């Protein structure tokens, strides 16, 4: 089997969608599936194109066992609706370069951005006469509403919602990352039999507990790592850190890049917060694992948009794999996941008092922290290794190909009978 993956974001880009696309690609290769990825030059979220890609329309690479075709993207920061739309449209166009080179594929999996990626996905599907499967990292139209990017009563929003519903019905199957998406997808008219929840997974060869890593200080360290995007509320972390300046030995490290970085630095300066550091260096996956291992606790500071979160961040699986207790500032699916896997404490987003209490509790109760860490490791090892998620999605693909084969055979028999 040869799977084509279409994804705007792929390592070394940051973000959960990037990790998800890589994990599925790697998981499939571990299950003896040939994988070709069409993606862009590295650009997210900073908009800086590495020198080796400049002035090139495309470039072929090999990432472990994955065939990668990288194509042109504008060197602009992914910030604001207009810039994001420009990047999406650029990717739609440049991804079609692969039509000249990609051969003998059996199925297309559109990883991200889901609905924009469906455009080139459908073109590859039609020209190669193969099925298409759509990943669902986020319910894009719901996010547009929750993030207040568009007003839900506007004509533009209604048109986008209609187009989204039509797009969700096109693929032979959908592979959402969270069970929280199933009901919404059904409300869009998608048959439940076409929905297969495949969680993001984690590379356990890279992300693992390394207790031998030592630090030069004894402060209780809380770490966040990822993109500084509008989905997160870092103000709550910075303000909690300010409260804890005089309540013990605590330090907070926020590592990543994104559009909120300037406002984060401004708040730190205005409040004169001394125990928060921002690292904007982009880390390799291996170095990221080692960095996470220096934490005493890891935090997911999601923003309160007034509705429960339906998705589950891939970041949580990496946090679990390194065996650290998690502080989850969210409600909905992320909080349910933390509770069910017994891997950390949940705090309602924006509740500074409870956030401070959770950090202090973990700092004082070493046994609790260790138990949360062990539970997280056990869960991802048993359920979310790349080999397991690769096997699961491979089976989805095989079932679709078998159904299509039966349908074609039946059609031929009808024609012969007539």
88-114 tens-digit pLDDT: 899 999 999 999 999 999 999 999 877
CA dist list (Å): 212 to 208, 215, 224, 225, 365: 12, 10, 21, 21, 21
Kind of pairing, strands 2-7 and 107-112?
Answer: parallel
Indicate the pTM of the whole model: 0.84
Do 155 and 230 lie in a common domain?
A: no
pLDDT tens-place string over residues 272-292: 999 999 999 888 888 999 999
| Angle of CA points 147, 151, 155, to nearest 5° | 140
Q: Which residues pair with 59 in a beta bridge?
A: 70
Do 41 and 170 lie in a common domain?
A: yes
pLDDT given for residue 336 in this prediction:
96
149 vs 34 pLDDT, higher one: 34
Q: Indicate whether 270 belongs to any domain.
A: yes
Do 159 and 64 lie in a common domain?
A: yes
Radius of gyration, CA atoms only, the chain: 22
Do 228 and 374 lie in a common domain?
A: yes
Do 184 and 35 lie in a common domain?
A: yes
pLDDT at residue 145 tops 60: no
Distant-in-sequence, close-in-space partners of 178: CB < 8 Å, separation ≥ 6: 197, 199, 310, 311, 312, 333
Q: In whole angstroms, what is the distance from residue 350 CA to residue 357 CA?
A: 13
34-40 β-sheet, strand order: 58-63, 66-71, 34-40, 2-7, 107-112, 132-136, 173-176
Do 101 and 190 lie in a common domain?
A: yes
Arithmetic mean of pLDDT over the chain: 88
* Residue 292 and residue 318 in contact, taking contact as beta carbons nearer than 8 Å: yes
pLDDT at residue 205 tops 50: yes
* Residue 325 and residue 300 in contact, taking contact as beta carbons nearer than 8 Å: no
Backbone angles phi, psi at 408, to 5 degrees: -65, -40
Q: Indicate whether 206 belongs to any domain.
A: no
pLDDT at residue 226 tops 80: yes
Q: In whole angstroms, what is the distance from residue 297 CA to residue 275 CA?
A: 15
Query: Cis link prior to 12 (omega < 30° from 0)?
Result: yes
* Residue 129 and residue 28 in contact, taking contact as beta carbons nearer than 8 Å: no
pLDDT given for residue 4 in this prediction:
97
Total number of domains in the chain? 2
Q: In whole angstroms, what is the distance from residue 107 CA to residue 202 CA?
A: 23
* Residue 307 and residue 279 in contact, taking contact as beta carbons nearer than 8 Å: no
pLDDT tens-place string over residues 232-274: 999 999 999 999 998 879 999 999 988 899 999 999 999 999 9
Do 182 and 138 lie in a common domain?
A: yes
Do 160 and 261 lie in a common domain?
A: no
pLDDT tens-place string over residues 366-397: 999 999 999 999 999 999 999 999 999 999 99
Domain extent at residue 15: 2-201+388-414
Do 15 and 110 lie in a common domain?
A: yes
Provide the angle, in degrees to the nearest 10, between the axes of the packed helices 235-244 and 352-364.
Answer: 60
Do 15 and 128 lie in a common domain?
A: yes
Output DSSP code: residue 325: -
pLDDT at residue 400 tops 90: yes
Q: Indicate whether 214 belongs to any domain.
A: no
Do 182 and 197 lie in a common domain?
A: yes
Q: Indicate whether 213 belongs to any domain.
A: no
Distant-in-sequence, close-in-space partners of 339: CB < 8 Å, separation ≥ 6: 346
Do 195 and 236 lie in a common domain?
A: no
Helix (H) or strand (E) holding 34: strand 34-40
Q: Indicate whether 142 belongs to any domain.
A: yes
Q: Indicate whether 394 belongs to any domain.
A: yes
Q: In whole angstroms, what is the distance from residue 266 CA to residue 278 CA?
A: 11
Q: Indicate whether 10 belongs to any domain.
A: yes
CA dist list (Å): 291 to 64, 156, 207, 219, 227: 23, 43, 10, 15, 15
CA count, 13 A, side-chain hemisphere, 332: 18
Q: Domain holding 252: CATH number? A: 3.40.50.2000
Q: In whole angstroms, what is the distance from residue 275 CA to residue 220 CA?
A: 11
CA dist list (Å): 247 to 242, 326, 330, 342: 10, 21, 25, 27
- The pair of structure tokens assigned to 390 is 């690769």
pLDDT tens-place string over residues 43-64: 887 788 888 888 889 999 999 8
Q: In whole angstroms, what is the distance from residue 217 CA to residue 74 CA?
A: 43
pLDDT tens-place string over residues 322-364: 999 999 999 999 999 999 999 999 999 999 999 999 999 999 9
pLDDT band at 408 (very low <50, low <70, confident <90, very high): low
Q: Indicate whether 131 belongs to any domain.
A: yes
The residue written with tokens 């440049």 in the block is 94
């Amino acid at each position: 089997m040869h799977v084509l993956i279409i994804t705007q974001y792929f390592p070394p880009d940051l973000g959960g969608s990037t990790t998800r696309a890589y994990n599925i690609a790697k998981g499939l290769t571990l299950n003896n599936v040939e994988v070709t990825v069409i993606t862009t030059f590295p650009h997210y979220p900073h908009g800086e194109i590495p020198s080796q890609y400049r002035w090139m329309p495309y470039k072929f690479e090999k990432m472990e066992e994955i065939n990668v075709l990288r194509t042109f993207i504008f060197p602009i920061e992914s910030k604001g609706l207009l810039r994001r739309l420009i990047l999406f449209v650029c990717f739609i166009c440049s991804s079609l370069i692969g039509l000249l080179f990609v051969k003998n594929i059996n199925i297309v999996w559109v990883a991200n951005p889901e609905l924009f990626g469906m455009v080139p996905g459908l073109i590859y599907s039609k020209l190669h006469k193969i099925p298409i499967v759509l990943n669902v990292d986020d319910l894009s139209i719901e996010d547009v509403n929750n993030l207040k990017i568009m007003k839900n009563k506007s004509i533009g929003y209604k048109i986008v919602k209609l187009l989204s519903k039509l797009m969700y019905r096109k693929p032979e199957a959908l592979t959402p990352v969270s069970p929280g998406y199933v009901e919404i997808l059904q409300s869009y008219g998608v048959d439940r039999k076409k929905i297969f929840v495949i969680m993001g997974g984690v590379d356990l060869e890279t992300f693992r507990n390394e207790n031998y890593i030592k630090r030069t200080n004894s402060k209780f360290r809380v770490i966040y790592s990822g993109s500084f995007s509008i989905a997160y509320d870092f103000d709550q972390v910075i303000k909690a850190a300010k409260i804890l300046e005089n309540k013990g030995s605590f330090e907070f490290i926020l590592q990543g890049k994104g559009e909120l970085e300037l406002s984060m630095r401004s708040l730190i300066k205005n409040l004169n917060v001394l125990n928060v550091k921002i690292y904007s260096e982009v880390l390799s996956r291996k170095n990221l694992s080692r960095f996470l291992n220096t934490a005493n606790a890891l935090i997911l500071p999601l923003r309160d948009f007034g509705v429960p979160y339906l998705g589950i961040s891939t970041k949580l699986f990496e946090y679990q794999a390194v065996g650290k207790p998690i502080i989850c500032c969210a409600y909905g699916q992320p909080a349910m996941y933390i509770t069910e896997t017994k891997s950390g404490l949940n705090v309602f987003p924006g509740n500074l008092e409870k956030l401070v209490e959770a950090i202090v509790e973990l700092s004082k109760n070493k046994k609790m922290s260790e138990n949360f860490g062990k539970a997280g490791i056990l869960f991802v090892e048993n359920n979310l290794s790349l080999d397991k998620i690769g096997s699961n999605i491979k089976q989805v693909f095989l079932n679709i190909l078998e159904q299509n084969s039966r349908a074609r055979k039946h059609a031929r028999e009808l024609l012969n009978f007539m």
